[in-house]
Structure formats: structure tokens, C-alpha cells
Structure 1
Amino acid sequence: MTFERPASQAETAFHQKALAFNNVTLSYIARGAPLDHLLDRIAGGFSEAYPARSLAIFLFDAQQRRMRVGSARCMAPPHVQQVEALEVAEPDTPQFWALFQQTAAAHGAEVIEMLPLRSFAGDVAGILVVCGAAGALAETAYEDAAYRQTVGAAVSMAMLSIERSLAPSHVRPPIEAASPSDERMALAIEGSGTGIWDRNAVTGEIYYSRGWKAILGYEDWELSNHIEDAYKRVHPDDLPYVQETIRKHFEAKSDTYMVEHRILCRDGSYKWICSRGKVVARDDQGNALRMIGTTTDITEVKLLTGKLRKSSQLLADLTSEIPGMAFQYRVPPGADGYFTYVSEGSRETYGLAPEQLLEEAAAIESIMHPDDLPLYKASLEAIAGGAAHWRLEYRVMPPGLGMRWLRGHARPRRLDDGSVLWHGFISDVSESKAIELELQEFALTDFLTQLPNRRYFMRRLEEEHGRLQRSPEGRAAILMCDLDHFKVVNDTYGHAVGDLVLKNFAAVLKAQLRKSDTVGRYGGEEFAVILADADAVVASGFAERLQRGFAAQPLQLEGKAVAVTLSIGIAIMHAGSACQETVLRESDDALYRAKANGRNRFEIAPAAV
């Protein structure tokens, strides 16, 4: 009884790898892969299994009596050239063997074995040569059965490859001549980057056009026709969706089959493809028999779509996160303008949703401050009239949000159809506006009395003079008021009490004024007043009321009144007044006379009488 030595795990792995390699190679031969590719694959597979040895294949040209290289990647180019230069009457002879050994030795190599490759007719079609370094013949490590099987398989597959390439046309499958229209269709499909597939729904076989295989980077002969292999190429995350879609179409639950998914390419990367197809044959029970379709590479489209989506999301994020409202506003020729884009910031600025403004731009006018609405409408008219830019500050009163100041900026771009497209931004400037108004008020307000200061009063005096120049019948009274013996108050009670006296008088004075009147602390204990639309009689009545009111409301200090009297000078300004400074000097002169005539009285300038 004899026992075979059990194979080791390494030997088992070697045989499995060799079997897989041979099966793939045979499938390539069957599908008509190019001869040079097949021979390179056979030689490369051998060298991978036995790195210390190299395999070369030469084809015999009987007519030219020359050897032509089929695959000799491990041989030096000069060595290959020398072999191809040899005159060969018959390769399978001792004489050629010896001659081949001499050429190998001249290039530092040793021929270990040389085997003829014979066609089915028995003719020598080429040779398979195994070479190694000098002294390789003495090695015994390559005498095992696995090595002999590898060499034998290489010889068989090389013979099949050569025979397949030499097969006469009458033994190859007949090809029906294509009509000119068919050729044009094939060329159009090939050039469009679209592949065609034809699936046998019964056997599971699927046939791909050359263009389909090219999408994934395969040669025409490199892919199997099994649907199981096709599913292995589909991205795992997309496979359930693909299988479910095709199942529904097989069950006639959809008119056509269309999927977009990722698929594994020859180089290990994934592409996006779009496959469309339709069952074109069913049996009597409605079962799918045959399905035909096309596949298009949509990777670039997907990448571009992704970039656009990211850009759109970035724009949306930016316009949503930045405080304020970004907008696009279109003004067609001779028509009202309308918003074509409004960011989410409209909710914060106007208290309105973007959809509301896109539907009706005039919705803004419903929340506009009444005093600013005419200015806003005028700015829109300017836009329609071809303004070069838009800049406006205005107030809005969104329901429940209170009044706020907004600032708008926009620039136009004229379109080919004559429309003007405005791109702009609306920001809430309520806080900065409040600070601005506060600073303005601070610059024009007397800190102690909180009345307007001399600068503000002089500006208003100039404006009033301008108004009267446009109104010949108009009048205005200018009053200069001075607290009598104010220095005595400071000297007696101190400057702190003097300040309280000034503040007390300011309160009494403000209580006597109308909305149309203007007051200002002119300096020290002097105060100036403009009584709009008032003549000498009205001014005299005001002066009397002011004196009485001030006397009736003296400053109380520790239960005692600090009595101070008031002198007033009055002048009248009208359209004939030379300038406002002249009128102011006239009222000051009248004040001087009131002081000279005993104080606690008022005098009217002669020109006003």
C-alpha cells in the first residue's frame, strides 16, 4: 500500500492561483484577444511563478526562414535582434538548438529548454524557450511536477493562441455584412461614448459592445458574459437599488429600465454610469426573455453637478449666515421690477419670507416708514430710469419687530434684452444709526441743559432765513435771553448751584415753546429763541409769559428760593432782512437796552416796531 504525501497549504495556494490564471487566459483566447497580448500574458505569468527563470516565445516564418519575437520581455533587445537575424530552415532540430544556445551564452544567459509549438496540422509555428542565468541547468529545484505542469500549460496556451490567430476565415463565425446605415449607427454610438448591452434574461448571459467595455477601460475580449460578474462590478452601496429596479422592470412594473450608479473600472476606480434599457421579448406568461439597453459615462456630469451643488450650498450658506439680505432685482424695459433672488436674510431685515418678496416686491412698501416711503419710491424710479448705482438708508416697521434702519447698496448690469439686473445687499444699521444719531445729538446739544447748542441754533437760524427769503409775507421773531446778575449767583452759592439755576431756566423755557420753535444755549447764561411765524406782538406775549413762568418757578435750595430775573431782547426777521447775523445783532442790542433800563424786562429792536 502506498500513501501520497498530502499537499501543503503553499502548494494548494500555488495550484489554485495557477488554475485561475489559466482559466482567465483561456477565456481571453476564446474571445479573440490579440496574439501579442496573449503571449505576453503567458510569459509574464510564468516569470511571476518562477522569478529566477524567464520564458520567451518566438514565431516561425517559414517563407522568410526567420524567427519573429512573440514575447521576450526578459531578454535583452540585442539578444532578441540576434535571434531574429538567424536564418532558420527548421526550428525543431539539434542544429538550431545549438545555435540558439550560442546566442544566449553570448548575452550571459543559458537555455534550459526549448520546446516546439506545433499547429493542429503538425507544422512548427514557433518555439517556447526557458532561459536562466549561467549554470541554471545544474539546478534541481525545478524538477518537481508543479514546474513541469506550469511549463506544459504555457506550451498548450501558446499553441492555442497561435492557432486561434492562424485560423482561416472559413472556420471562424460568419459575420453578416453591415449595411451603410448600420455602419453609420455603429460609428455614431462608438463616438458618443455610449455602450450597448444585450442580456439573455433566461440564461443570465449579457453581451457588451466594444464601446461599453471601453467605458470601464477593458479591451473587447477581457470581460466575461455572466450577470453575476456584472453585479460584482456595481458599487456595493448601489447594488440593491440596481437589482430592485431591474426586478420591477422584469415584472413589468415599469415601462423602461433606467439607473444611475457607480461601477468598478479595470484600474480599480469607480465611474458613474447611466444605463437605460427595455425588455424586448417576453414569453406567453409575460416572463422577460431578452433585454437590450445602452450605458453612458456620466462621471463628468456627476462631478460637475456635485461642484455646482457645493457652490450653490456655499452661496446659500454665505447669504444665510451673513447678517443682511442679498438680492437680485430685475427691471425689464418699460415694466416694473421684480426680485429674482432673495436670501434668507429677508426675514431679519424686513420680517418677510423670501417667497413673499419673490412673489410681490411691493410688499416692502407695506412696512415702510411713512416719512421714508416717498424717498424709497423715488429711488426705484431712479433705478428704472437707468441710475448707475443704488444707495439708500430708510426705516421699516415690520410687525412685531419694531422700527429699524436699513441701508441698501446695489449695482446694475445691463442684459442683452435691455433688462437691467441689479445685485445688492440690504443690511440692518439700526445700531450704528442710533450711535450716529446720538453722536450728532451730542455734537449739537449742550451737555448741561440738554438744549441745542449754539452750533445747532445758528444752523437753524440760517435755515429759517432761507425759508423767509422764499416767503415774502413770512416773519420770525428772534429772542436773546440773559439771566440777570448771574455772576452774583455763582459767587454767592457756587458754580454748582449756578448750573442748577441754568438747568431750571432751560426747563421753564422748553415748556413755553411750540414744536415749530427753536431754542439754543448761546453761551454762558445767554439763551436764543426762534419763534416761527411770529411778529413783535406774538414775541412780546411770549417774553412776558416766559418771565412770569421763570419768576414763578425759581430754583429751590434747602427750602429757600434762589430768585433770578430775566432780561430779553427781541428782533424780527423777514424776507427783507440782509442776513441772519444782522437780525441776531439787533436782538442782542435790544437785550443790552433791557439790561441798561433796569433788567427784568424785554426790549424790542427799533426795526421790529
Structure 2
Amino acid sequence: MMSERPPLSVDADTESCRKALAFNNQTLSYIARGAPLAQLLDRIARGFSASYPERALAIFLFDRHKRRMSVGAAPSLLPAFLADLVELDGLEPDTLPFWNGLSALAARHGCRLLEVLPLRSFAGELAGVLTVCTPVDAPADASHLEQAYRDTVGAAVSMAMLSIERALVPSHAQVSTEPPDEANERMALAIEGSGTGIWDRNAVTGEIYYSRGWKAILGYEDWELSSHLEDAYLRIHPDDLPYVQETIRQHFASRSDTYQVEHRIRCRDGSYKWISSRGKVVARDDQGNALRMIGTTTDITEVRQLNEKLAKSSRMLDYLTSEIPGMVFQFRVPPGGRGYFTYVSEGARETLGLSPQQLLENPTIVDTMIHPEDLPRYEAARQMATATGSHWMLEFRVIVSGQGVRWLRGQARPRRLEDGTTLWHGFISDISQSKAFELELREYALTDYLTQLPNRRCFMQRLQEEHSRIQRGVCDTAAVLMCDLDHFKRINDSLGHAVGDQVLKHFAQVLQRQLRKSDAAGRLGGEEFAVILSGANLQAAAEFAMRLQASCASQPLLHEGKKVEVTLSIGISLMQVDSGSQEQVLRASDDALYRAKEKGRNRVEFAPFADP
């Protein structure tokens, strides 16, 4: 039964709506200041009854470990009703048996249930139930369909969930002398360790709750920042504000599945940071209007700065920063035992192509995905971090079934417990796109743009490698050839530099067709090219040189229907164990080339110490 209340007007006029909104704003202020949970829930229930005195709002909390309900706030229900809640112990609150049992219990005490709404935490776990009931003998009406009533119920649900969440998650609440629930501690530490901030927006009142990690991104302490939407918009860079507001409007109107933006935001010291915010409306009323929206924020300032250094074009910026997927996790390693995941976020699907449940059930599956070439480095980094308790940070490759190779960046911090267990709280992100661009830039740095042959720097690295192989006894000899296109200046002067460039490209193609897989060639500058014939002696080098000269003569470049004939001078030296450094060998072949040009060009000469 409901306790007796003095009769009030049932109709909610404009003044009562204004008072209800003011009460909601005041309650949010209490939440932000960290008022006790019981006090917050009682205010929500009494505030509802002030607007709708003929109905009773009650909030029940669910202990998922004990599988029982307890009273959070029920100022309008009689104690006998509340005492009989034990009949529902063992039932899950979001199941039909629970609802039927609660309905029967209410009827036995002279009440009729109008609303039974679940209350969930940030992690999606059921934390309680909000109910609205009326006396069974109360006349039926349609006021529960009115927009003002639905908005009031929605606001009550949103504030109740926010109050419960603030009490549950340690990183969002005031310091408590009681040990936090293990599951909530796990989630809070994993999120905080990843450098991710959380925000919770009441779409009805416009109030926004920020986690401690969110405030830390901007340099604020936990007790700073207001929860007003107007203040939040003032922090957004003016150039980005219209885009952010329009994206929110589109999501509120159900025109997008999720809310995703990247924009600049002002920090406590007045500077701006780039952040990536991703969220989703998690509660709507019967008409589809948004009630509550939850999301995360990540600092992407460094990524933006890297984009500016790598490329100026907007296409390349979009390529690198279109999305930053990531996986928040907690990994527990008991003393002398194998490690296992105790928390994995949904980002596992984006980074590893696996569901969180797969990783929780089989933690060793990650080791089987590590690229074979990176596995030793991955194991060594993990063992070093475990032994020293240092911050683990590593870039490595994984092979995702059906999707190929991905580059990941892992970061985690260890926490040693009293029993010797090590808890890792960290974050793994997909950096495949930026890695691909990095490798592309590296390739450009080692390749001659015109001929697509290795440039001088790359060729000298290859020459050093060949010299090391000979010194280690992998092979006995290697021939080094210096090649020069005869009278190339005449071509540039008579036909123009564009034709000269075509001649160089044409010769590079002729040269590449003569090389074996073990050989190497490069353009050292101008019309000079160098060749390494791995394992070749002087006889083999001479035969190669003559074939190359013959190919140049038989395959001239055609320009405007005319042949552009080019001859080739070649100097050869031999690299052996006792032939000095690679620079000396290259200089010897260059000296031989100089003699070939002095003796009339279009000929082959050998280094003095390397007569054929």
C-alpha cells in the first residue's frame, strides 16, 4: 500500500514543470558534489512525488553477488511492502519472473505498477530497478502518456543511473574507507590506465558529468569544472563548435548510430588540445527523444602533430586520423601462474578481430596471433616489464584471421598486489595506417625518384652488407661495376633534359632485366650507375658487362620515331676478404671507369689489382 498524502492537483501546469526542472538541476548539482547515494535517491523519489503526488516512485538496488534487492529510496511505500521484497531474492530484475513477482507483491499491498525500468551502470551491468505505482482503486487516466510525465520519468531514470554510477566507480566518487567492488575497480583502473575520459550527458536537462580522467586530459582537478552544457560549449574551439553541435543533433535525431567527432578543446591553461569523442544515446523515451548519452574522450593531440609533420594535404591527415580504434584491458598474472584477462573492452573487435568473451575464455589466443618475426621481441618486452615493474610499450604485428596483418601499439602499467599478483591496466590501438605511411616514406628515402632504382644511400648499405657477407665467409667474392652513359650531356643539350630523363629511365629498365635476384644496382647520381654481382668473379663480371653493353646498343630509346643511341663505359673491381673496405672497392671500380672513358669510351676496364 501507499502511505497517505494530502491531495494535490493532478494536472502538471507550466509552473510545476518549471519547479520540477529546477529540482532536477539541483539534484545534478548534488551528484556533482558527491552527495551520499541514499540522499540522492531519496531526493529523486521525493522530487517526482512533488510533481505527481498520486503516484509513488521507488528505487531498488540490486546486489548481483548476493542476488537480492534492497531499498534505495521508497518514501511513499509502506514498510510492510518493502519487508516482503525478500520474496524476490534470487530472481534477475530484468526477467519476466521478477516482474511478475513484483507485480503480484504490489497487488497484494494494494498497488498497481505503472513503470518498471532497469537501471544500468557504465559497464552495462544491471544495478537496480526504478518503479512507479498507484493505488489499485485510483481512477484510470491517460496522464502517463503525456510528454511532461514521460520527460519527468526519463529524467528520474537518468539521474538515478548517474547517482548509482557515481557511487559504484571509485575513480568517479569521493574517497571512501570501504574497499570498492572488484568488478567496478577493474573497469575504473583499466579505463584510467588507458588515458581515456568518460562523460555522461543528461539530454533532458543538458547537464554533463565528467570522470576524473576526462578532467585530467584538460588539466583540471576532480572538483573543478561545472556540469552545465553552456560551459562545455564555451570550451570548444569556435571553428569546431558548429560541426560538433550538428553531429550531436544528427545523433539525437537517430540519423547516426553513434556520435563521433574530432575537435579542439580549451585546456585549463588556455591552450587547445585535439580530442576524439565517441558516444551513443543509451536511453530514449517512447517518442524516440534522447534521454541519456554516454561516451569516451581521448587526447589525440600528438597524432595530429604527427600528421602535420608527415604531410600537409588534408587527404593524408584524414588517412592517418579517420579513426583511432583501441582496446582497454586488465590482465592478471598470479605468482608462478599463467596470466589471464579479467576485463576486455569492445575495442578488441577492432584491434584483434576477437570478441571480449573470446579473450576472457582463452587469453593465450593473443600469443598465437603475434607475427612470427615479432614474437621474440614481444616476449622479451613483456618479461622485462614484468620483472622490473616498468611501463610496457611496444609496436608489433598481429595476423588477424581473414583480415591479414595489422600493426598494433600496446601500452600498459603494472600494479603489484600484496599476494604477488601483477595487474596490468592498459590500452592497445591499431596503428596499421600510420605504419604503412611510415614504411612508404622510408621507401621513398631509399629510392631514386626518376629511375626507381635504389639511391646512393641505399646502394651503399647494400654494398656494406655484401662486404660483411664476404668477411663472414658466406661467399668468396663479389664484382662491383661502375657504369656511365657516354656523352650524356650532348643528349641534354641537343634534345632537352626531358629526353635525357627518359634515357636514364630506359637504361635503368635495361639494367634491371640483366640482374639476378642476388644482384643489386643503384643510381649514384647523374648518369652514373653501380652494380653488385654477388658471388661473381672477374670473368662473370666481364660477361655481364658485355651483355649490358650489347643490350643498350640493341634496345635504344625511341623518341619521335628516331633512335636515341647511347653507349656505355664500365669499370670493374673485385671485392674479396683482403680487398679492403667497401669504399675502397667502389673507388677502384670508379678509377677503372675513368680509364675506360679516357681510352675512348664504350669499353670495359678493370681495376689494376683485378686483371681478368
Return the structure number with greater relative CO, CA threshold 8 A, min gap 6: 2
